[in-house]
Amino acid sequence: MPPACQKIVNFKTRLGAYILNNAGVISIPTDTVQGLSCLPKFENAVQKIITLKRRPKNKGLILIASDIHYLSLYVKNPSTLKNIPQNTPTPTTYLIPAHKTASPLLTGKFDTIALRLTDNLLIKELCQMTNSALVSTSANIATKPSATNTLKLLIFFKDKLDFIIPPQNHNNQTSRIINLQTGGRVR
């Protein structure tokens, strides 16, 4: 990548982190689909995502991170995070018993929380710059296909997103979801 392009990418990442650190909602390409993200500590931002997607509150949301230490606040027993396999060939989200202080907006009607580790460079940089896991959910209105370009993001969400890092690929393959305690596959 030419140096000028690299500077633009770095600027977008830094701006995205700044907006996240200030309770914003952004759209980013993840290791699976284009997503909507915010920091889980900002309940108003989490609620904004749920409202934008027209998503039922009882479904919960996924937290993604580049390292397990960003996820330890949200689980009942942080040592269980060591059981999450690293670098799975298929992006995999794991259901783990949630800490009693985990927001119901994150857990939904469940006593578990959905967590995914990823080696995605953008996610890694955003986690480092915010010192946090990220809320991650597909960039769509409930029941509709996920947005695959900036135009679709604008059609779905108008001017309600605080920032967009445009889609870089059209993966559109959602993660599989596995209950870490039982090994049962949910999706």
Range of the domain at 69: 11-28+44-179
Residue 37's pLDDT is: 98
Per-residue HEC secondary structure of 84-146 comes to CCCCCCCCEEEEEEECCCCCHHHHCCCCEEEEEECCCHHHHHHHHHHCCCEEEEECCCCCCCC
Number of domains in the chain: 1
In a domain, 114, yes or no: yes
pLDDT band at 7 (very low <50, low <70, confident <90, very high): low
DSSP state of 54: T
Residue 86's pLDDT is: 78
CA distances, 5 to each of 1, 2, 8, 9, 14 (Å): 6, 5, 5, 6, 14
Residue 49's pLDDT is: 98
In a domain, 130, yes or no: yes
Residue 138's pLDDT is: 95
Residue 87's pLDDT is: 77
Percent of the chain past pLDDT 90, that is, above it, reads 79
In a domain, 6, yes or no: no
pLDDT digits (tens, 9 = 90+) for 126-157: 999 999 999 999 999 998 988 989 999 999 99
pLDDT digits (tens, 9 = 90+) for 155-174: 999 999 999 999 876 556 88
In a domain, 79, yes or no: yes
In a domain, 36, yes or no: no
Nearest Cα residue to 104 out of 35, 54, 56: 56
In a domain, 37, yes or no: no
In a domain, 149, yes or no: yes
pLDDT band at 54 (very low <50, low <70, confident <90, very high): very high
